[in-house]
């Protein structure tokens, strides 16, 4: 049927009605019909773009809205659309794609504080070189705004061991690894902080007091937190909160951030994925922590990172309501299988029998999602675990990154004896990065960076 201007207008009105009432499929069909007949193409592309945003089809939305802007570049009435697109791209971790849209929206409304804060976060950090030569790959890699933190991170594993044996973590699944166990002496910690103060590339680095160890096991934890604060840095803890003591001192020490890491919320589920842990102890400690935080008027930001598996997915809401009651934030997230050494083996079909059970409990097996991640990567970007973090073990040795566990993936140098730049150079020379990147196990952003 050949469309006339008036029948096309009726179709557009009908499409908009469908669109507004959430009948997206019907609306899309009519919009496409108009587009094919070349009627109201600007308005139709705009509406189709916002419709695709609602459906989460960001690539299509971006393409359509891009076309509208090319044809009608100075239309400030599109502000709401720029904003919507910028926010969706940002929320979905497409920060590099979000940046021009944030800038565009802010140029129309320079007082939009929300967008201004997003733009600040997506911009590359000024303390980082924008690119680096990777001798392993024999190419120059680009850097980007790191996702894990808005500043440089020093991860200091003050407790070189953990009380639990989670099967998705090397402490529980990699007993054959060569790794020493011990607690960092306070004097060594103090010297490390003094060196960080002198040479940190960023003025306000974050200090994370954990990697593969449980910081609450360290008998001098509160003293260590005080040392960090005396140096003027922010201090971050991640804990399984499954210890019988130390809660009062932790609250009193008032670190900037306490992450409580848990999985299930009943004995049946928790004990499977947090092996050796007691859910009753964790629950009572969560309440005790709230009590002491209030008692000492501590303002630590507490959040619960809930690792979701198939067997505990249904316990998301109950954890959320307990967090709400205790005024803790709640971040449910897909559980991952670690360390990177094992991930690389997995990607090469080397599966240990002992890991089969936990792999079957994951919401998505790494062998399913990593190939998809690889497909969307350009290979032109550096890994943020390499360029934005230095990891120091309890004995002062520097690790290649926070994702590796075995001795051979440590850098073989003591943090106090090498400069930041020497440590950085050693990281880029380490052959394991190449293996990790070839298997898609690195952190060069899991999102397509060049184009969605
Ligand atoms: S995941 Fe955390 S709590 Fe579990 S064994 Fe590893 S370090 Fe310990
Ligand atoms: S490339 Fe892999 S091994 Fe190297 S720093 Fe990144 S995550 Fe670690």
Does residue 117 sit in the same domain as residue 157? no
* Placement of tokens 């960023």 in the chain: 202
Does residue 60 sit in the same domain as residue 190? no
Give the other-Cβ count within 10 Å of 188's Cβ: 18
Rounded to two decimals, the pTM is 0.91
State the pLDDT at residue 72: 80
Residues in the chain, pLDDT under 50: none
Phi, psi of 301, rounded to the nearest 5 degrees: -85, 120
Does residue 11 sit in the same domain as residue 93? yes
State the pLDDT at residue 74: 75
Task: Name the residue with the closest Cα to ligand 1, atom 6.
Answer: 169
Ligand 2 atom nearest to CA at 432: 3
Tell which residue, 88, 78, 85, has the closest CA to residue 109.
Answer: 78
Residue 23 in any domain: the answer is: yes
User: In the β-sheet with 389-392, what is the strand arrangement from edge to edge?
Assistant: 329-334, 301-308, 257-262, 234-239, 206-208, 153-156, 389-392, 397-399, 410-414
Residue 361 in any domain: the answer is: yes
Question: Which uninterrupted H or E stretch holds 102?
Answer: helix 95-108
Cβ(241) – ligand 1 distance below 6 Å: no
Does residue 117 sit in the same domain as residue 265? no
Give the C-alpha distances (Å, rounded to integers) separating 363 from 307, 358, 359.
Answer: 10, 10, 9
10 Å CB burial of residue 89 (0-12, 13-18, 19+) is buried
Residue range 210-235, pLDDT digits in tens: 999 999 999 999 999 999 999 999 99
Find out whether 279 and 270 touch, Cβ atoms under 8 Å: yes
Residue range 86-100, pLDDT digits in tens: 999 999 888 988 999
Any idea which ligand is nearest the CA of 429?
A: 2
Residue 296 CA to ligand 1 center (angstroms) comes to: 28
* Placement of tokens 């559980």 in the chain: 335
Ligand 1 atom nearest to CA at 213: 7
Cβ(170) – ligand 1 distance below 6 Å: no
Ligand 2 atom nearest to CA at 430: 4
Cβ(157) – ligand 1 distance below 6 Å: no
Structural tokens at position 152: 């440089």
Find out whether 337 and 347 touch, Cβ atoms under 8 Å: no
The CATH number linked to 266 is: 3.20.20.70
Does residue 98 sit in the same domain as residue 194? no
The per-type count for the chain, helices as H runs and strands as E runs, is 20, 11
State the pLDDT at residue 272: 95
Distance of alpha carbon 169 from alpha carbon 161, whole angstroms: 12
Within 128-222, strands assigned E span 131-134, 139-142, 153-156, 206-208
Residue 452 in any domain: the answer is: no
10 Å CB burial of residue 418 (0-12, 13-18, 19+) is middle
Task: Name the residue with the closest Cα to ligand 1, atom 7.
Answer: 212
Residue 172 CA to ligand 1 center (angstroms) comes to: 8
Residue range 129-153, pLDDT digits in tens: 999 999 999 999 999 999 999 999 9
Pocket of ligand 2 (CB under 6 A): 340, 383, 385-386, 400-401, 403-404, 432-433, 436-437, 441-443
Residue 147 in any domain: the answer is: no
Find out whether 145 and 113 touch, Cβ atoms under 8 Å: no
Separation of CA 409 from chain center: 22
Residue 437 CA to ligand 2 center (angstroms) comes to: 7
Residue range 273-292, pLDDT digits in tens: 999 999 999 999 999 999 99
Does residue 27 sit in the same domain as residue 157? no
Does residue 117 sit in the same domain as residue 158? no
DSSP state of 333: E
Find out whether 161 and 213 touch, Cβ atoms under 8 Å: yes
Structural tokens at position 166: 């989670």
Task: Name the residue with the closest Cα to ligand 2, atom 5.
Answer: 386
State the pLDDT at residue 373: 86
Any idea which ligand is nearest the CA of 343?
A: 2
């Amino acid at each position: 049927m050949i469309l006339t201007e008036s029948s096309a207008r009726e179709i557009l009105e009908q499409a908009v009605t469908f669109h507004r009432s959430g009948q997206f499929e019907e609306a899309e069909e009519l919009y496409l019909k108009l587009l094919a007949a070349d009627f109201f193409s600007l308005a139709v592309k705009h509406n189709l773009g916002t419709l695709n945003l609602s459906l989460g089809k960001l690539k299509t939305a971006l393409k359509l809205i891009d076309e509208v802007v090319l044809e009608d570049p100075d239309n400030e009435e599109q502000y709401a659309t720029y904003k919507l697109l910028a926010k969706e791209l940002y929320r979905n971790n497409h920060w590099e794609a979000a940046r021009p849209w944030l800038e565009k929206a802010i140029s129309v409304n320079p007082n939009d504080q929300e967008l201004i804060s997003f733009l600040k976060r997506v911009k590359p950090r000024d303390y980082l070189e924008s690119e680096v030569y990777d001798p392993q790959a024999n190419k120059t890699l680009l850097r980007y705004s790191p996702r894990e933190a808005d500043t440089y991170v020093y991860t200091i594993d003050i407790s070189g061991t953990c009380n639990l044996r989670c099967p998705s973590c090397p402490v529980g699944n990699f007993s054959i690894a060569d790794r020493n166990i011990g607690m960092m002496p306070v004097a060594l910690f103090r010297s490390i902080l003094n060196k960080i103060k002198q040479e940190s590339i960023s003025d306000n680095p974050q200090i994370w007091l954990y990697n593969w160890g449980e910081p609450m096991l360290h008998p001098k934890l509160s003293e260590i937190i005080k040392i960090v604060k005396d140096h003027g840095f922010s201090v971050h803890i991640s804990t399984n909160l499954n210890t019988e003591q130390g809660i009062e001192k932790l609250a009193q020490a008032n670190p900037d951030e306490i992450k409580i890491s848990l999985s299930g919320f009943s004995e049946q589920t928790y004990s499977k994925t947090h092996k050796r842990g007691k859910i009753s102890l964790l629950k009572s400690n969560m309440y005790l922590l709230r009590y002491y935080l209030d008692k000492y008027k501590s303002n630590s930001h507490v959040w619960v990172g809930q690792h979701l598996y198939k067997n505990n997915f249904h316990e998301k809401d109950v954890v959320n309501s307990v967090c709400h009651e205790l005024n803790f934030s709640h971040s449910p997230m897909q559980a991952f299988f670690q360390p990177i050494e094992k991930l690389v083996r997995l990607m090469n079909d080397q599966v240990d029998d002992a890991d089969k059970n936990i792999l079957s409990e994951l919401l998505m097996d790494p062998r399913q999602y990593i190939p998809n991640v690889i497909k969307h990567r350009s290979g032109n970007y550096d890994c943020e675990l390499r360029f934005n973090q230095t990891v120091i073990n309890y004995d002062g040795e520097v690790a290649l990154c926070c994702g590796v566990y075995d001795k051979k993936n440590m850098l073989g140098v003591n943090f106090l004896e090498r400069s930041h730049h020497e440590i950085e150079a050693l990281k880029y020379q380490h052959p394991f990065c190449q293996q990790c990147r070839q298997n898609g196990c690195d952190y060069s952003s899991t999102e397509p960076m060049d184009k969605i």
